[in-house]
A and B are shown apart, each in its own frame.
Chain A
Amino acid sequence: MTLAAIAAGIIWWLLPQAPPASWTEPEVEMLESLWIANLKPLPSDPTNAVADNLAAARFGQRLFFDRRLSANGAISCATCHQPERRFTDGLPKGQAIGASKRNTPSIVGVAYSPWLYWDGRRDSLWSQALSPLEDSNEHGSNRSHIVRLIAADPSYSEMYALLFGDLPESDSVDRAFANIGKSIAAYERLLMPGPAKFDRYVATVVAGDETSQQEVFSEDEIRGLRLFIGEANCTQCHNGPLLSNHEFHNTGVIAFPGEVPDKGRVAGIREVLAHPFSCTGTYSDDPGRDCAELKFARTGPELIGAMRTPSLRNLENTGPFMHKGQIETLAQVLQHYNKALPAMIGHNEVKPLGLSGRELRQLEAFLLTLAAPLATADQWLRPPLHDPAEIAVDQAGGNALAESIVTTESL
């Protein structure tokens, strides 16, 4: 009896599954909504007057890779946000002078999000960029040191003056510090995801070309996609062309070993509402201070343990996953959703999926089709080393970055 059941199971396993049926009209609409071709132009950031200024982006790129901004001269943003790992570090938690509290997220495409950080405790890229500089575990520096550095470096002070006026007379330290953040933000706004195999698949679906559909996607990938937008409910939160709603959800990820569960958004919203560098603060360039996201933000107990939904266009080479790197592999992430255990704090919004091992593998096969190179030109994905002082610092740091020297002329 049992043997027969096992045999039947094996036969079922070996039999090819019926080919996946073609897509219904609502499904095609859903696929189109996830298509990178439907990614809107990056919204402007009225709080940052240089957000889309190329000179500011060049200045910001240099700051992003410059270790002199740190207390020990050894840390830059790229220590943790490494371009070759899609701007992550491969660690459960960021590591610099000390350990960060959370996992280093990719910053590719993050300019689309109204909120920054896992708990959304900043509301602009420029205000976010100022925090690691003064975080004792990260750059461990402070604003006066950094503003002095800009003033002392002739090429920096020239770039600064062109954008914001002369340093230091014209500006207070806080204003100059905000301007540094705004330049880094202008750089980060250039880091965008490119089209993936998934997007080529959607193109064939939209064109109604069934033969090409089967050439682009394997049967497992098609089935995985069907689960993703259907039974597995992933598009409830991972929606839109970046596969993120940029909102906060409790998905019951267990606490980091030896730590109390992370409060997430309930704490993040409190912090951003009171932050001096927020949209409503004096350093925002938005004269009308529209600040709709901040003014109409929701607070409340349903945000306990809620984290911002990450984009799924940054999964390749970016593990471990989740806000503290609690989950090592994609297969384990899917098991986590399949079980959906009650949350340690707050309320887990997702329900157990009850998918089979085969279905989970199909879902994973689909997730892998979202991998793609950045849409950003290579020159932005490495340090623009051309300043002798910086090259000296880098060589002293024993780093082989000199290989990737690019000159400003090539930019």
Chain B
Amino acid sequence: MSTRRCKVFGTLVLLGFVLSGTAHGAEDSYWLSDRQIYKLVYTSALEPPEINRIHEWLLHIETITGDVVENAEVTVDGGMPLHNHGLPTRPRVTEYLGNGNYRVEGVRFHMHGQWEILITIKAGDIADSVTIPLQL
């Protein structure tokens, strides 16, 4: 299955929650990984997002069945698909905070427009990735 279709699926799941009125706050809005293995919630230290400022993100990762994902290998990358270039920095997970929470440092955006953040998660032997679209 193509990444794009999965993303659409993830968005539909989210939309489904919103439309059916079953969302109970933030915990129910999550990003689904491409192969539907992991659920991810992120919070940015810069809210609303802003350009030209380096900042941190916190990730919370669970399996699709709701078990927190401990000590996974998590990588962060991204870019602007329309401009065909990557992030200006090389963010990475600098700390596992316990309870499925990971600290990401070094996030910065340097242009307005449509960005994508690609997060890959590997716990045990099972790797999957999540693509988060962001409008700046």
Contact = CB atoms under 8 A, between A and B. Distances in A.
A328 interface: no
B35 interface: no
A21 B8 CA distance: 37
Given A296-B105, A297-B89, A298-B90, A240 B51 contact: yes
Nearest to A246: B52
Question: Which 6 A-B residue pairings sit nearest by Cβ, starting from the closest?
Answer: A296-B106, A245-B110, A247-B110, A296-B89, A298-B90, A247-B88
B54 A296 contact: yes
A209 interface: no
A237 interface: yes
A236 interface: yes
A274 to B, nearest CB: 17
B46 to A, nearest CB: 12
9 contacts: A236-B111, A245-B51, A246-B52, A247-B88, A293-B89, A295-B106, A296-B89, A296-B106, A302-B86
A30 B135 CA distance: 13
A239 B111 contact: yes
Given A236-B83, A239-B110, A245-B52, 8 more contacts: A239-B111, A247-B110, A292-B54, A292-B106, A296-B89, A296-B91, A296-B108, A298-B87
B92 interface: yes
Nearest to A296: B106
Nearest to A303: B88
Interface of B: 51-52, 54, 83, 85-92, 105-106, 108, 110-113
A298 B88 contact: yes
Interface string A333-360: 0000000000000000100000000000
A132 interface: no
A270 to B, nearest CB: 15
B111 A245 contact: yes
A299 B89 CA distance: 9
A142 interface: no
A114 interface: yes
A302 B85 contact: yes
**Band of interface residues on A:** 20 to 34
A33 B53 CA distance: 14
Given A236-B111, A245-B110, A292 B105 contact: yes
A297 B88 CA distance: 8
Given A236-B111, A237-B111, A349 B85 contact: yes
Contact of A30 (B87, B90, B106, B112): B112
Given A245-B110, A298-B87, A302-B85, A239 B105 contact: no
Interface in A22-44: 30, 33
Contacts of B112: 30, 33, 235-236, 239
Contacts of A299: 90
A240 B88 contact: no
A323 B110 CA distance: 20
B111 A114 contact: no
Contacts of A297: 89-90
B94 to A, nearest CB: 9
A293 B88 CA distance: 10
Nearest to B92: A296
Contacts of A240: 51-52
Contact of A298 (B83, B89, B113): B89
Nearest to A242: B52
Contacts of B51: 33, 239-240, 245
A246 B108 CA distance: 11
A277 B4 CA distance: 46
B110 to A, nearest CB: 4
Count chain A CB atoms within 10 A of each CB in B51, B83, B112 and give the residue with the most.
B112
Contacts of A296: 54, 89-92, 105-106, 108
Nearest to A113: B52
Contacts of B86: 298, 302
Interface string A215-229: 000000000000000
Contacts of A292: 54, 105-106
A245 B54 CA distance: 12
